[in-house]
Amino acid sequence: MPDPVSPKHLAARLTEHWSPRVVAELDDSYVKVAKLHGTLAWHSHEDEDELFHVLKGSLKIEMEDRTVVLEEGDLFVVPKGVRHNPVAEQECHIMLIERKSTGHTGTEVTARTRSLAEQLRPV
């Protein structure tokens, strides 16, 4: 049986922005933490929902029809197929829950896109 983890403490230890790290597995999903600052990229995940939970700071998720602002403690699920762009005006720490098949930036590839191998590196 795995040991307990603190997503909040693990996210705080990260040194790179926009580089999620897997901290747990749940059936066919990964639990990830990340430090964000600035803008990621417009993208979508055609077959997977994506759960964002803000551990510290605030996060804006732009979508084509609206923008949601998440404050510390809030969570939001971006439904599959919805184009979105996460934006953190100040440093923000988040926890993500996504299927193992979810590509970091969907089919979009940018300088910030991280492979699954990079996301599986230890925190």
Give the number of residues written for the chain. 123
Model pTM score: 0.94
pLDDT at 6: 96
Contact assessment for residue 112 and residue 105, using Cβ atoms and an 8 Å cutoff: yes
pLDDT at 19: 95
The predicted model gives 1-11 an average pLDDT of: 91
pLDDT tens digits, one per residue of 27-42: 999 999 999 999 999 9
pLDDT tens digits, one per residue of 58-108: 999 999 999 999 999 999 999 999 999 999 999 999 999 999 999 999 988
Domain annotation for the chain: domains and CATH numbers: 7-108 (2.60.120.10)
CA distance 67 to 10: 28
pLDDT at 2: 81
Cβ atoms < 10 Å from Cβ of 10 = 19
